Structure 1
């Protein structure tokens, strides 16, 4: 059977969220291999995605270099003889490589009027075009509509949630290298950068870390270069806190090995949800529905409705609110495992 190409998103969080579409496509065409296109940053995650065979890399570059890269990618794609390409992003540039590769069926929304580059549309494409992007569905709904051509009613339990699976040998290798105490429960914290509009005040993360450290939990901080300032502040206040990972795969292993994940909106938060880790995620007002993970053991916390929109960030979320949500999630998870 002709393989299928899914042109996904470059950002880690959006790439993970798009896995719902991959799972739907795999259910519809179980005999057709599925490959994805994403950025070099997100590509390692493709190895952890069920139903994904391989990832093609395409990074954002200046226009001339970008066109050259897309042409080179198109030549490689042509050799694979793909029968269908699903364009999960509606950007014109995303449809260029599949078109140049001569993939006969190119499915997506023509929101940028890329008729011809895209030649098969979901059933509601006309309404989406008329909205001119003003009334777009949340990304989760959008990619699932593309995968089903908007012809199926979502099941009562919702479309399949994104899923990441770490191979046992990868986890064993990480455990052998990390030297961490894995006998105690562990809390993974993702604070983001202090100047990020999605950030929660660092002093509140420190309060949560101190509280769980006193309970005997290990404190693991998830953060790379961008989060270094926040990481340093937490470690200065909670010296026993550990920031251990050097690669994206290591970060995924650290998240997967944690007992609970607490953080703000971002790639690691979506990864934690997809890995099945109990999560408490802090969002800006009116943003959790649009941008939050849809996985089962995720609890979304945001300021009261009376808090001004997206301007005030997550300042309206208190430490007590987060600690209470963490406790209720932990108890619910324990009861479900015991029952």
Structure 2
């Protein structure tokens, strides 16, 4: 059976949300291999996602890049793809399947790629207007492309993104880092404290100290943006383990999957934690979770009180007491595997 190529969004959180569309395509075309094209940053996550055979790397900033795109198109042409689903609006990305001669190139012409995109989902003109809170969310947009604009039937829900780290990989990661699997661990994803999406430093520190007093390990996860915040937490709690210099993104997935609970804010890794399926508490600004948050059912959202105006994006309205109660509650709930 001829394979299908899906051009996904480049950011970590956006790439993970594209997995909803990939699941729809896997059900629509059973037995057809599905490959993805995405950024070097997000590509390592593809092997953790069901239904994906392999990932192509599409550099985000090719200047001018026609030679590089033509080279990638020649490699892609060898796979004899029957269709390319363009979940990204980038014209640079859309040139690749066109140059590769993939017969069907499906998507919304966000940057007016008429001709480059040669099959438009039903109702595509509305896609130019359907943005913003309580309108069409990103994961709904990518699913609409996969469904060619058809609306799901009554009672049919769009699939939530899924990722899985194997037991063998988790065991190897624990062995390399000397992690005791019997000790509970709280994974903290803070973003930069200067980011309006973060939560105040003193509150993260308070929650971390509370868990440390009860014998939990505290893991600080993320990347370069989180390093300054991690250092600040470690001044107050030296026993916290700083994983923000992790060289591989898949190691960060092991950190999340091995933790007992994840506490984070709006950002790419919160989508990863949700897709991995463990206990997950996310702190969002007022009315932000619907628009930009993960759609996985088990995620517990904490937002400022409903009386807080929607233009107040910061998270100071979420108290430590609410966070501690939510963490205790999600840990006490049966895991996704136990429910299944």
TM-score tier by shorter-chain length is over 0.9
Per the alignment, residue 288 of structure 1 pairs with: 289
Residues paired across the two proteins, number: 337
Measured in 2, the distance between the counterparts of 1:264 and 1:127 equals 31
Measured in 2, the distance between the counterparts of 1:264 and 1:182 equals 25
Is the 8 Å Cα contact of residues 111 and 133 (structure 1) preserved in structure 2? no
Q: CA deviation at 1:300?
A: 1.2
Q: CA deviation at 1:335?
A: 11
**Cα distance change, pair 284–95 in 1 and its aligned pair in 2 (3 A):** same
Per the alignment, residue 128 of structure 1 pairs with: 127
Q: CA deviation at 1:310?
A: 4.3
Per the alignment, residue 29 of structure 1 pairs with: 29
RMSD: 2.1
**Cα distance change, pair 88–334 in 1 and its aligned pair in 2 (3 A):** closer
Per the alignment, residue 101 of structure 2 pairs with: 102
Is the 8 Å Cα contact of residues 207 and 320 (structure 2) preserved in structure 1? yes
Measured in 2, the distance between the counterparts of 1:73 and 1:45 equals 20
Per the alignment, residue 7 of structure 2 pairs with: 7
Is the 8 Å Cα contact of residues 281 and 300 (structure 1) preserved in structure 2? yes
1:238-296 Cα distance to aligned partner (Å, 9 max, x none):
12211233321111111001111000011211111111111100111121001111113
Is the 8 Å Cα contact of residues 284 and 303 (structure 1) preserved in structure 2? yes
Q: CA deviation at 1:64?
A: 0.7
Per the alignment, residue 270 of structure 1 pairs with: 271
Is the 8 Å Cα contact of residues 131 and 137 (structure 2) preserved in structure 1? no
1:287-320 Cα distance to aligned partner (Å, 9 max, x none):
1001111113201111123324344421222211
Measured in 1, the distance between the counterparts of 2:333 and 2:196 equals 31
Measured in 1, the distance between the counterparts of 2:291 and 2:8 equals 18
1:199-249 Cα distance to aligned partner (Å, 9 max, x none):
111111111111111222111111222211100111111122112333211
**Cα distance change, pair 269–22 in 1 and its aligned pair in 2 (3 A):** same
Q: CA deviation at 1:19?
A: 0.5
Per the alignment, residue 43 of structure 1 pairs with: 43
- Counting only pairs closer than 5 Å after superposition, residues 81-92 of structure 1 correspond to structure 2 as 81-92=80-91
Length-normalised TM-score, structure 2: 0.93
**Cα distance change, pair 312–162 in 1 and its aligned pair in 2 (3 A):** closer
Measured in 2, the distance between the counterparts of 1:252 and 1:165 equals 9
Measured in 2, the distance between the counterparts of 1:18 and 1:338 equals 25
Per the alignment, residue 20 of structure 1 pairs with: 20
Q: CA deviation at 1:181?
A: 2.4
Per the alignment, residue 251 of structure 2 pairs with: 250
Measured in 2, the distance between the counterparts of 1:119 and 1:133 equals 23
Per the alignment, residue 112 of structure 2 pairs with: 113
**Cα distance change, pair 312–165 in 1 and its aligned pair in 2 (3 A):** closer
Per the alignment, residue 216 of structure 2 pairs with: 217
Counterpart secondary structure, 1:13:
helix
Per the alignment, residue 143 of structure 1 pairs with: 142
**Cα distance change, pair 299–10 in 1 and its aligned pair in 2 (3 A):** same
Q: CA deviation at 1:117?
A: 0.9
The 10-residue stretch of structure 1 (312-321 or 234-243) with the greater mean CA deviation from structure 2: 312-321
**Cα distance change, pair 134–256 in 1 and its aligned pair in 2 (3 A):** closer
Per the alignment, residue 161 of structure 1 pairs with: 160
Q: CA deviation at 1:57?
A: 0.6
Q: Give structure 1 regions of 4+ aligned residues with deviation exceeding 4 angstroms.
A: 132-136, 334-339
**Cα distance change, pair 207–45 in 1 and its aligned pair in 2 (3 A):** same
Is the 8 Å Cα contact of residues 197 and 313 (structure 2) preserved in structure 1? no
Counterpart secondary structure, 1:333:
coil
Q: CA deviation at 1:159?
A: 1.3
Per the alignment, residue 307 of structure 1 pairs with: 308
Measured in 2, the distance between the counterparts of 1:229 and 1:10 equals 25
Measured in 1, the distance between the counterparts of 2:26 and 2:316 equals 41
Length-normalised TM-score, structure 1: 0.93
**Cα distance change, pair 312–51 in 1 and its aligned pair in 2 (3 A):** closer
Which consecutive residues of structure 1, in runs of 5 or more, have no partner in the other structure? none
Per the alignment, residue 317 of structure 1 pairs with: 318
